[in-house]
Amino acid sequence: MNDNNKLVQKPLSEVISEEIRKRIWNGEIEFGERLYEASLAEEFGVSRSSLREALQTLEFEGLLENKARRGTFVIKHSDEDVREIMEVRAILETQAFINASEVMTAEDFEQLSNIIDEMKKLDKTDDWNAMFDLDLKFHLFVVHLCNNSRIVKMYDLIQVQIRTFLSELDTYYKQNKELFYKEHEDLFQALQVQDKSLIELSVRRHIYHGANRP
């Protein structure tokens, strides 16, 4: 078989970590819940070592925590955690969006517009998991255009924590579904006009709206 036709398989631990991550984000595994290695290894049909490798990845990402003599638990965000996540996001995204606005092309704006259109299509549903995936996709796209490799690396390190926190906000946005995509339209327009003050205002307003969770 031609090497170009061979399927590239992900490491087993990566497949497991993706599945656990997805279950947490869609609510199948609750925040604060304990994870049992033996039952998960049996369910996935893998060795305990492969499972531990996956759990270590999720712990590094800030999604899990290992409590001495108690086990491994899904992180449950405290008010202090929320404050810290929002502050880091505001610092990184404000500068990233300002930088990106100076280099974005028509094709870049078209891609962002397509993401917003996808959000609008989901507005009639309750698929918050898909909507928050689009939310992070929008922000990652802009951040990766910022021409600052260190901002990109730092943002990539915390993106799982950001996405995890977003999954707690469905109740907040259910009060006004249109707010979800309208905030991204505001960000889009601020990027288009390249107004630094407006970009900062739009970024911080969007981020801190999310901090006002129930």
CATH number for the domain whose boundaries are 8-74: 1.10.10.10
Amino acid at site 173: Y
**Quick check: 168 pLDDT over 60?**
yes
> Domain residues of the chain, as ranges?
8-74, 79-211
| Second CATH level (architecture) for the domain 79-211 | Up-down Bundle (1.20)
Nearest residue to 82 via CA among 214, 173, 211 = 211
Sorting pLDDT into bands at 50, 70 and 90, what band is 69?
A: confident
Q: Two tokens at 27?
A: 């609510």
| Span between the terminal Cα atoms of the chain, in Å | 55
The reported pLDDT for the residue numbered 104 is 97
Q: Tens digit of pLDDT for each residue in 11-27? A: 888 999 999 999 998 88
The reported pLDDT for the residue numbered 214 is 42
The larger pLDDT score, comparing residue 165 to residue 194, is at 194
**Quick check: 86 pLDDT over 70?**
yes
Average pLDDT over residues 118-125: 85
CB of 146 closer than 8 Å to CB of 152: yes
DSSP 27-57: TSS-TT-EE-HHHHHHHHT--HHHHHHHHHH
The reported pLDDT for the residue numbered 73 is 95
For residue 34, list its beta bridge partners. Answer: 73
The reported pLDDT for the residue numbered 213 is 46
The 8-class DSSP code of residue 11 comes to P
